[in-house]
Amino acid sequence: MSPNTQLLQKIDTIKGVGPKMSAHLAKLGLEKIQDLLFHLPLRYQDRTRIYPIADLRHGQEVLIEGKVDHCSILFKQRRMMVCQISDASGGVITLRFFHFSNAQKLSLSRGTLLRCFGEIYQGYNSLEIVHPEYKIINKNTPLALADSLTPTYPSTKGLQQRTLRRLTTEAIRYIDGLDEVFPESLRRQYKLMTLAEALIALHQPTPESSVEQLLSTSHPAQQRLIFEELTAHHLSLRKFREYSRKINGIPLLSKDVLYQQLLDSLPFQLTGAQQRVITELKHDMQQAWPMSRLVQGDVGSGKTLVAAAAALTAIEAGYQVALMVPTEILAEQHLKSFSEWFEPLGLRVSLLSGRQKAAERRDNIENIALGLSNLVIGTHALFQDAVTFKQLGLLIIDEQHRFGVHQRLALREKGKQGDLYPHQLVMTATPIPRTLAMTAYADMDYSVIDELPPGRTPIKTVVIQNTRRDDIVQRIDAVCQQGAQVYWVCTLIEESDALQCQNAEETLALLQEALPKLNIGLVHGRMSALEKESTMQSFKQGDLHLLVATTVIEVGVDVPNASLMIIENAERLGLAQLHQLRGRVGRGTAASSCVLMYQSPLSQIARKRLNALRNSNDGFEIARIDLEIRGPGEVFGTRQTGELQFRIADLLRDQQLLPSIQNASEVIIKKYPEKIQPLIDRWIKTAEDYVHA
């Protein structure tokens, strides 16, 4: 049997792999022998050399040898065994065991020679290893060192690391049969290793390999795989885009009567950026294929009005519109805005929420099915089988990063009429660098609302230690006396000694005591939708001077008269969230301020975050700094089930490669189209489901 054929065999053809182990391996997506080669290590252990104890540093994971100086059992908060060992370098380290037997204690007598492996911690008086792996060294039978770095693989219950290492070693025997589907000319152009060289280097790194490089994924072998995986991802989205252009959409033609009526009712004019994006949306919606467009706009840029214009185009053409949002409070805010705009035009706006009473929910579902609801706003409740649209022409998704790819495609399927698919508009306030957006959303067209409405004054941001609370309370009093309103944001609802965050309810009581003349309200995530809506309405109408809130007000809340925000324990929040919160003020014409109150001492990263907010109001600049500070992460929020997952690549960490990825993809599409499907199949398990969702 050829090596190539062997790699495509089921994994249970390897000796020792029975039905039980096959089931465990299948949980990791390991079904063929070839899958083992692409099941990449998470980290590495260096068991190839003995480190002198005197040279050890906190955080290292190393192999050491030393003689036991003494070993004793201590009775402190819990029973433990403590051994001290030393070596010829003059260094001393403590081994600490919480689980041990009497036989172990006896075996670790003074003078015993040990080889230990573990992570080094800085203890009270010396460096320590807690529960090290160890072996007693017999002078007559010396222990051999490993001849390569030891990989640690992603695993699951019932699978040991030594099993995964053994199986991977078996798969590597057939690596010569692995197809090198990445074009040779591109490999040479970008100075990439061969696939076989890269995989061997990652599964069996030589002792000379840099563990630092491997852990930071900057090793040439990892860069080779990252390049291929990102190319496969980009090609799959381009293929999906091509597929989307071939399916049938609903050309939505309208005379813009409703849109013009909406414009006439507004007390302001749209910005040039809003008008440009609306024109792009209308052009897309007139095509015979379904629109798929991402609209990005910073906090306060007027995305909701752009969505309203697109919705009116669909409604005037005789179709329904669905607006999906990630949270109940944002759904309620949108319901209020769209009702104010659309009801005077004779249109019905409905809300579908998981918290609605059964009768109200039943009525809304019936109205949607009969086509009586022109615009339906909802959270994940829009996915439920009971919800059917009479004629869905446009699907709008707010804050795309909160939803997985498959979730939005499932909703598009729900709106399918025969062989016609609805148009799709995706909106986000998360600033995404253009190159990143063009790769992450290569299946979509892309628009940016890069202009704020006129009259918006820049928000002044100040950073203050929480010891100056009294000064801030006096400032609130003065601001409210002048007729403006204030937000006070607490980061937790409940008391937490560890985080030292003020309890929102306790803050409310303290502020009521300090400011007895002011009307103060409270909003947090555990209140009912009705309670939150009632309090927010009171605040918006000016009945409340001050609103104490948790981060539930992060998105969608619009009170133009609010000109001051205090964010307590601001060091606990990320830059993107702080920027979103700050965007709740400065929505009117009055000069607005945001006070970032912090608990000392500040970490270096927290200090960078707060300084970034103080120095800039530009969402794109803040996003750039956020990427610098966080390094690897997920700018699009928590990854959702069903979203395309990467095995080794990370869009943020590897974004410097993206221009090259886009260029390489263009070359493959034009010169090597036969390579596209093999690349997608290799890296994206659910590629076909994704493309044909």
Per-residue tokens: 53:
């104890």
CA distance 572 to 632: 19
- Please report which residue ranges of 65-178 form alpha helices under DSSP H: 102-107, 161-172
Determine the Cα–Cα distance for residues 94 and 130; give it in Å rounded to an integer.
8
CATH number of 257-449: 3.40.50.300
Q: How many CA atoms lie within 13 A of 58 on its CB side?
A: 7
Comparing 61 with 457, the larger pLDDT belongs to: 61
Q: Give per-residue pLDDT as tens, 274-319.
A: 999 999 999 999 999 999 898 988 777 888 999 999 999 999 999 9
Phi and psi at 397, nearest 5°, equal: -115, 120
Write down the pLDDT at residue 453. 75
Pairing of strands 349-352, 562-568: unpaired
The average pLDDT across 103-127 equals 90
Per-residue confidence (pLDDT) for residue 38, from 0 to 100: 92
Task: Name the token pair of 72.
Answer: 């004793």
> Residue 476 above 90 pLDDT?
yes
Q: Which residues pair with 396 in a beta bridge?
A: 323, 425
Mean pLDDT, the chain, as a whole number?
85
pLDDT for residue 678 is more than 70: yes
Render pLDDT for 125-138 as a digit per residue (tens, 0 to 9): 889 999 998 999 98
Q: How far is it, in rounded angstroms, from Cα 235 to Cα 224?
A: 17
The Cα–Cα gap between 546 and 480 comes to 8
Q: What number is the average pLDDT over the span 167-176? A: 92
Which segment of 173-187, 226-240, 568-582 scores lowest on mean pLDDT? 568-582
* Mean pLDDT confidence for 447-454: 82
Amino acid code (one letter) for 50: I
Strand partners, 188: none
Task: Report residue 2's pLDDT band, with 50, 70 and 90 as the boundaries.
Answer: low
- If you classify domain 460-616 with CATH, what class do you get? alpha beta
* Segment 218-256, tens digit of pLDDT: 999 999 999 999 999 899 888 888 887 888 999 998 899
The CA distances from residue 404 to 354, 572, 637, 692, in Å, are: 19, 26, 10, 16
pLDDT at residue 497 tops 50: no
Question: Sorting pLDDT into bands at 50, 70 and 90, what band is 351?
Answer: very high
pLDDT at 632 over 50: no
Identify the residue with better confidence: 558 or 358: 358
CA dihedral 211, 215, 218, 224 (to 10 degrees): 100
Q: Is 231 strand, coil or helix?
A: helix
487 contact partners, CB below 8 Å, separation of at least 6: 546, 547, 549, 553, 562, 564, 565, 566, 584, 585
Measuring CA to CA, which residue among 237, 382, 399, 384 is closest to residue 307?
399
**Which distant-in-sequence residues (6+ apart) come within 8 Å of 195 by Cβ?**
178, 180, 182, 224, 225, 228
- pLDDT the model gives residue 338: 95
**Same fold for the pair 53-136 and 257-449:** no
Residue 347 has pLDDT above 70, yes or no: yes
pLDDT, residue 534, reads 84
Q: How many Å apart are CA 129 and CA 116, to the nearest integer?
A: 9
Per-residue burial over 246-271, b if 16 or more Cβ lie within 10 Å, else e, is eeebbebebeeebbeebeeeeeeebb
- Report the candidate in 427, 430, 326, 237 with the shortest Cα–Cα distance to residue 640: 326
The residue behind tokens 């809340």 is 557
**Helix (H/G/I), strand (E/B), else coil: 639:** coil
In the predicted model, is pLDDT for residue 431 greater than 60?
yes
- Exposure b/e, 29-53, CB count within 10 A at least 16 = b: ebeebbbbbbbbbeebbbbbeebeb
Please give the order of strands across the beta sheet that includes 485-489: 460-465, 593-598, 562-568, 485-489, 546-549, 520-523
Q: Structural domain boundaries of the chain?
A: 53-136, 257-449, 460-616
Which tens digits make up the pLDDT trace of 633-644? 333 333 333 344
Residues of the chain with pLDDT > 90, as a percent, come to 44
Classify the C-alpha dihedral 429-435-436-438 as positive or negative.
positive
Number of residues that this document lists for the chain: 693
How many angstroms separate the CA atoms of 231 and 182, rounded?
9
Q: Are 377 and 661 in contact (CB under 8 A)?
A: no
Least confident of 5-9, 433-437, 652-656, 672-676: 433-437
The residues near 315 (Cβ < 8 Å, ≥ 6 apart) are 258, 321, 347, 374, 375
Answer whether residue 142 shows pLDDT above 70.
Answer: yes
14 Cβ contact list (under 8 Å, min separation 6)? 33, 167, 170, 171
Architecture of domain 53-136: Beta Barrel (2.40)
For position 635, what pLDDT does the model report?
Answer: 39
| Contacts for 98-107: CB closer than 8 Å, 24+ residues apart | 98/130, 98/131, 99/131, 105/71, 105/73, 105/81, 107/136
SS (H, E, C) 128-159: EEECCEEEECECCECCCCCCCCEEECCCCCCC
Q: Which amino acid is at 506?
A: E
Neighbours of 285 (CB within 10 A): 26
End-to-end CA distance of the chain: 37
Separation of alpha carbons 126 and 663, rounded Å: 53
pLDDT of residue 407: 65
